[in-house]
Amino acid sequence: MKLNIRPPREEEWRSCRMLLPETFGDAPARTYLLGLQDQAPHIVGAASFRRSEQALTHLRLHVIAPFRRRGIASRLIEQIASSGVHSMTGTAELSKEPAAQAFCESNHFVRLDVLNTVEADIAEMREFMRRLRARMVPASARVVPLRDAPLDQVSQLHAMHVAQEGELNQWRGLVAATPGMEICPVVMIGERVVGMLLGHVEGSMAVVRSRVVASGHHGTWVNAMLLAEALDIGWAAGARRARFSYTSSNHDTRKLALRLRAETTGCLAQFQRRTG
């Protein structure tokens, strides 16, 4: 099958949105390509990504089901790789796309990290975190709501650590004062911000979107204090389960999830291919 790869025309943007709906939150920052069967022509696949001078990030691909396993996605990748970038990175939800791992490896991508999303009983988690907090937290530490914290320090801390998870966790890139984040404790020692958490309540679920801890405090009482406070806020708002995420390299949160027998609900993997 001959494949024509080109940017979408005006009348094709609706089809593009249907194929890659998750990318349209930041569509102006992205480049889009369509793969068309030359005979019809008929759209059979699409790709979307962000591009800088030397790197391509946030790569997403979609091939229409009847046309899969015909090399279309691989040809889209090779077309993109030939554009002069030094590296390409993208993500795949392994729990929803079980074939993604093998596909990425066959196209010379290496898995960098995985963002695991889990859910746990909030009462059990709350009790455990409260015990940790009572045992570990120094007397000089305090928790304040985001509105009462020094915004310059909060913004600086958040910006410094966005790169830790990059495109794996889109919430890391949010402005600290994001509307609707009613769970937003900030931990301070004296007048210095050492940790922050962004989250909200969805029905009976307390959702932790982003948790950032200052350098030198990773794996310490700051995490316990943030989570304990967040769970108390969620419980008071009616939440009875908690959802949180962690990368595979975050051993402390992984141990917490195992201890709480948390149920895995998502597994978002980041892959990279070096092209130059």
Report the CATH number at residue 9. Answer: 3.40.630.30
59 and 167 housed in the same domain: no
Q: Which domain holds residue 73?
A: 3-85
Same domain, 142 and 232: yes
Same domain membership, residue 125 and residue 19? no
Q: Residue 123 has what pLDDT?
A: 95
| Residue 176 predicted with pLDDT over 50 | no
Task: Give the up-direction half-sphere exposure of residue 115: CA atoms within 13 A in the CB hemisphere.
Answer: 21
What would the pLDDT profile of 241-269 be if each residue is shown by its tens digit?
999 998 888 888 899 999 999 999 999 99
Same domain? For 127 and 212 the reply is: yes
Q: Is residue 95 part of a domain?
A: no
| pLDDT number for residue 175 | 44
- Report the number of distinct structural domains present in the chain: 2
**Band (114; pLDDT cuts 50, 70, 90):** very high
Residue 109 domain-assigned (yes or no): no
Q: Is residue 107 part of a domain?
A: no
pLDDT tens per residue across span 3-50: 899 999 999 999 999 999 989 988 899 999 999 987 667 899 999 999
pLDDT surpassing 60 at residue 231:
yes
C-alpha dihedral sign at 97, 203, 26, 198: negative
- From 85, 106, 128, the end of a domain falls on 85
Instruction: Say whether both 75 and 153 belong to one domain.
Output: no
Shared-domain flag, residues 138 and 224: yes
The residue assigned the tokens 């790789």 is 81
Query: Span 178-187, mean pLDDT?
Result: 79
**How does DSSP assign the chain, residue by residue?**
--EEEEPPPGGGHHHHHHH-GGGGGGGGG-EEEEEEETTTTEEEEEEEEEE-SSEEEEEEEEE-GGGTTSSHHHHHHHHHHTTS-SEEEEEEETTT-TTHHHHHHHTT-EEEEEEEEEEEEHHHHHHHHHHHHHHH--TTEEEEEGGGS-HHHHHHHHHHHHHHHGGG-GGGGS-TT-TT--B-EEEEETTEEEEEEEEEEETTEEEEEEEEE-TT-TTSHHHHHHHHHHHHHHHHTT--EEEEEEETT-HHHHHHHHHTTPEEEEEEEEEEEE--
- The answer to whether residues 33 and 54 touch, using CB atoms and an 8 Å cutoff, is no
In a shared domain, residues 166 and 49? no
pTM of the shown model: 0.78
In a domain, 178, yes or no: yes
Cα 209 to Cα 117: distance, rounded to the nearest angstrom: 10
Distance CA 78, CA 100 (A): 17
Within a domain: residue 94?
no
Identify whether the C-beta of residue 187 lies closer than 8 Å to the C-beta of residue 220.
Answer: no
Is the pLDDT at 131 greater than 50? The verdict is: yes
- 268 burial via Cβ count (<10 Å: 0-12, 13-18, 19+): buried
